[in-house]
């Protein structure tokens, strides 16, 4: 059996961990630049706040309905996610971390009797709550797709299920599928759901389970991907659990700016910082990259001022993780595509064509690069700043924290403290004097 663990309204729950008085209050979390609503607590959903709502348009409504809003605090969410995943791993080592707020557990080695699965799920819930303060729900079923179905229903009927639903017998599975609209099947987007309805009149997962053939599925509904989903729906394992971190094929760091920028120096400053951010992610998986890409774009919502978006790719002479080399390339590329007559609101960096740093035989020349890679972060940053200053002149790269007055810095007017990742933001508990 496979379990999926899903952190309920994860970002909102993270904000609540250190603000327990908000546990019963409606909360939303905003996207970068405080652009739109990307996460809602149940109470905010009930209050009618829509996913993706544009913040400046609904701000009045939020205030009026006393909905608390937060800028996204990814440092906090990332750290809380690590805590939840470590807790899950301590219970069941066979784990696939699927996203920041979801994980699959392969229960094959756990030796849980068929009638003990619900109990197991409840234990996991309590342990995660106790150790992290994050509420979760759990779906358990023979395949990933069915576990997802179970989890969705567990969440929907939280009172009845206590956040845990097991689909084991055929009867349980069929009645769950009957209660699941096509578009809520994992791997079926609105396109597939729409097409299934208009061609065959299907509306629920059960319709698909009963009446779809593998042949039609493969030919008309997403090829092998669609086929795998259909098989999983029928209880046949077709999507494997991949434990262990999967190396990324490309790494990106892209952002919209706080305000439009129109000078090359601001743009190179932003690109340099984005490149450093992407390199940090690359360092995590111990890769070196050979391809660097950049892009920039004007405001796509204001095409009347002229729309310009362009990307450029470059190949480095050898795979490298040396910030100096990669940033130099990225800056060179952005210079090539920069046109002074436009104002830009977005830019980004891509890294690709990775090679494993650990497995590589290093040439004499590359050894000092490798040393750079193994230095501590602050040492590396110092080296980076020094070399870039030499190369590009002063002020091309600024510390993100010191660039607070840069126009390209994100707008984040409602950010909570970095409770768990910055000593200065450590919560203080004051006990009443006796």
Partner DNA sequence: TCTGGGGTCCTAGGACCC
Residues near DNA (CB under 7 A) are 31-33, 35-36, 38, 52, 54, 56, 98-102, 148, 185-193, 222-225, 246, 248-256, 281, 299, 301-302, 345-346, 348
Tokens of 142: 């023979």
Strand blocks (E) in 9-142: 27-30, 37-40, 68-71, 95-99, 102-106, 136-141
> 142: closest CA among 176, 109, 165, 168?
168
Which CB sits closer to DNA, 224 or 426?
224
To DNA, the closest distance from the beta carbon of 244 in angstroms equals 13
- Residue closer to DNA, measured from CB, 301 or 423: 301
Helix (H, G, I), strand (E, B) or coil at 357: coil
CB distance 53 to 37 below 8 Å: yes
Kindly tell me which of 163 and 222 has the beta carbon lying closer to DNA.
222
CB of 410 to DNA, least distance (A): 7
Closest CB 354 distance from DNA, rounded Å: 10
Task: Check if the beta carbon of residue 117 is closer than 8 Å to that of residue 135.
Answer: no
Cβ nearer to DNA, comparing 99 with 169? 99
DSSP state of 245: P
* In the complex, minimum distance from the CB of residue 365 to DNA, in angstroms, rounded to a whole number: 27
Beta bridge partners of 287: 356
What number of other Cβ atoms are within 10 A of residue 4's Cβ? 27
- CA–CA dist 132, 121 (Å, integer): 16
Rounded to whole angstroms, the Cα distance separating 53 from 38 reads 8
- The dihedrals phi and psi of 239, each to the nearest 5 degrees, come to -120, 115
Query: Residue 125 or 148: which CB sits closer to DNA?
Result: 148
Closest approach, Cβ 276 to DNA, in A, equals 13
CB of 133 to DNA, least distance (A): 19
Q: Residue 144 or 387: which CB sits closer to DNA?
A: 144
């Amino acid at each position: 059996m496979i379990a999926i663990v899903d952190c309920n309204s994860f970002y909102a729950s993270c904000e609540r961990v250190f603000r327990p008085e908000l546990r019963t209050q409606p909360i939303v979390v905003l996207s970068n630049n405080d652009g739109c609503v990307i996460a809602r607590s149940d109470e905010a959903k009930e209050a009618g706040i829509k996913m993706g709502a544009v913040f400046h348009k609904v701000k009045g409504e939020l205030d009026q309905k006393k909905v608390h809003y937060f800028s996204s605090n990814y440092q906090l969410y990332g750290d809380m996610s690590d805590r939840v995943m470590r807790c899950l791993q301590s219970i069941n080592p066979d784990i696939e971390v699927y996203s920041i707020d979801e994980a699959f557990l392969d229960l094959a080695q756990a030796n849980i009797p068929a009638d003990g699965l619900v109990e197991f799920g409840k234990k996991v819930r309590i342990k995660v709550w106790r150790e992290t303060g994050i509420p979760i729900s759990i779906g358990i079923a023979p395949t990933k797709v069915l576990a997802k179905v179970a989890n969705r229903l567990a969440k929907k009927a939280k009172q009845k299920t206590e956040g845990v639903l097991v689909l084991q017998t055929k009867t349980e599975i069929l009645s769950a599928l009957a209660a699941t609209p096509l578009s809520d099947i994992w791997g079926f987007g609105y396109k597939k759901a729409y097409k299934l309805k208009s061609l065959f009149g299907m509306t629920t997962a059960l319709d698909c389970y009963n009446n779809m053939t593998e042949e039609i599925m493969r030919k008309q509904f997403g090829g092998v991907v669609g086929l795998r989903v259909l098989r999983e729906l029928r209880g046949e394992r077709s999507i494997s659990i991949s434990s262990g971190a999967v190396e990324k094929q490309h790494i990106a760091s892209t952002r919209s700016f706080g305000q439009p920028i129109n000078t090359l120096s601001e743009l190179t400053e932003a690109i340099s910082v984005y490149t450093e951010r992407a390199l940090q992610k690359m360092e995590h998986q111990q890769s070196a990259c050979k391809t660097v890409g950049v892009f920039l774009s004007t405001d796509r919502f204001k095409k009347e001022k002229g729309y310009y978006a362009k990307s450029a790719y470059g190949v480095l002479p050898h795979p490298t993780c040396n910030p100096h080399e990669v940033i130099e390339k990225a800056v060179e590329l952005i210079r090539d595509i920069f046109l002074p007559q436009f104002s830009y609101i977005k830019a980004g960096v891509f890294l690709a064509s990775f090679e494993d740093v650990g497995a590589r035989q290093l040439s004499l020349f590359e050894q000092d690069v490798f040393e750079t890679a193994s230095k501590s972060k602050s040492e590396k940053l110092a080296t980076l700043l020094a070399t870039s200053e030499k190369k590009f002149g002063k002020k091309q790269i600024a510390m993100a924290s010191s660039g607070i007055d840069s126009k390209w810095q994100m707008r984040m007017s409602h950010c909570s403290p970095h409770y768990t990742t910055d000593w200065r933001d450590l919560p203080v508990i004051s006990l009443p004097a006796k």
